[in-house]
Amino acid sequence: MSDLDPAPDTIDVAPVGHPRPQLRIIEAREVPLGGVRAMTVSRTIPERTLPTVGAWCFADEAGPAPHLTRVLPHPHIGLQTVSWLLAGSIRHRDTVGSDVIVRPGQLNLMTSGAGIAHSEFTPGDDPEPVHLLQLWIALPEHARHGAPAFEQHVDLPVAQGAGWTATVLIGSFAGVTSPATAYTPLVGAEIVVGPGEGVSLPLQPGFEHAVLVPRGSATLEGDELASGPLAYLGAGRDRVELVAGDAGATLLLIGGEPLQEELVMWWNFVGRDHDEIVAARDAWEQHSTRFGEVAGHDGARIPAPPLPGVRLAPRRRR
């Protein structure tokens, strides 16, 4: 998914001080995606008080709704995109030659390194019900200038406990590690909890964590969560307890070691300063080999929006 907002917010991320256990509900903003096939997505991070959770720096939820996805080629730098479907299918094509369809239970993980471009389409010509979580992971300094890559994982490892089953997308959860390539200590896991079940999920105290509930509902320390908001748990917890609603709950748990690098995010780019963002934007607009071309689109692509009239400057986590 591309950030199609014609005037995207400038989000600057400063290192976190000393995160601690807490519970903070980050309400989702409805972000309209442009074009004739308009739909909205629910975005939780980055948020002005919570730019990142570990290295996770962006979380969108689209659907569930019938939709004909036609996201033309667009660029990324400095990040990995994690695409995880609860319903529907998406055809992914990119500038490293990938052309794959992703379905529920499968992970698409795209690593931009210094630059990649990709498109995302509904495989057929008609709308189909789709429910997509798309998240970005910021690459650390040692990995963000590297070569682009794409991997799809169709057989992810599973962890189980009393009342819950977890599919480990990336990183480690409950002693189970995903084969997906990660560059910082983190976790991304889909956790299914049965109807009415009360569960205690193991966490890593050195990580900060957050939970989305894309399907069903769950009560967590008095807050009822369903599709939309993100529950930020802070760091320093070794467990989190929650109770699924009558229809059960499907959670997405994300977390990681608090990021110690300053990020500047604008449009589809994660960099470290204003000039890097400008250089990436120019490279895309000039059809530079930094990004290349996605085959199959006859050169059609999403143009970069105009830069804001001010230099992209740091904004601290509050």
Using CB under 5 A, list all residues that contact Mn ion: 2
Integer CA distances (angstroms), 222 to 12, 212, 215, 242, 270, in order: 32, 15, 18, 9, 35
Q: Shortest distance, CB of residue 3 to Mn ion, whole angstroms?
A: 8
| Residue closer to Mn ion, measured from CB, 2 or 10 | 2
Q: How many angstroms separate the CA atoms of 151 and 68, rounded?
A: 24
Residue type, 317: R
- Nearer to Mn ion by C-beta: 180 or 302? 302
Nearest distance from residue 11's CB to Mn ion, in Å? Answer: 16
Q: Report the candidate in 64, 6, 76 with the shortest Cα–Cα distance to residue 34.
A: 6
Minimum distance between the CB of residue 161 and Mn ion, rounded to whole angstroms? 34
**Residue (72 or 230) nearer to Mn ion, CB:** 72
> Token pair of 312, please?
């992209």
Residue 235: CB minimum distance to Mn ion, A: 29
Which of 89, 123, 93, 122 has the alpha carbon at shortest distance from 106?
89
Backbone angles phi, psi at 206, to 5 degrees: -80, -10
Q: Report the residue number, 2 or 204, with the smaller CB distance to Mn ion.
A: 2
Least gap, CB of 191 to Mn ion (angstroms) = 25
Q: Residue 69: CA atoms inside 13 Å, Cβ hemisphere, count?
A: 26
Position closest to Mn ion via CB: 2
Residue 202 CA neighbour count, 13 Å, CB half: 11
Closer of 264 and 294 to Mn ion (Cβ): 294
Beta pairing partners, 25: 231
Contact 211, 251 (CB under 8 A): yes
- Closer to Mn ion by Cβ: residue 77 or 180: 77
- Minimum Å gap between C-beta 253 and Mn ion is 23
As a whole number of angstroms, the distance between CA 125 and CA 49 comes to 40
The distance of closest approach from Cβ of residue 75 to Mn ion in the complex, given in angstroms and rounded to an integer, is 8
Look at residue 279 and give its three-state secondary structure.
Answer: helix
2/108 with CB nearer Mn ion: 2
Task: For residue 277, give the 3-state DSSP assignment.
Answer: helix
Residue 213 vs 270, nearer CB to Mn ion: 270
How far apart are CB 76 and Mn ion at their closest, in Å?
6
Q: Which residues contact 15 (CB under 8 A, 6 or more apart)?
A: 258, 259, 260, 261, 262
Is the Cβ of residue 2 or residue 95 nearer to Mn ion in the bound state?
A: 2
Q: Please, is 140 exposed, middle or buried when counting C-beta atoms within 10 Å of its C-beta (0-12, 13-18, 19+)?
A: middle
Write the DSSP symbol of residue 50: B
Closest distance to Mn ion from the beta carbon of 120 (Å): 7
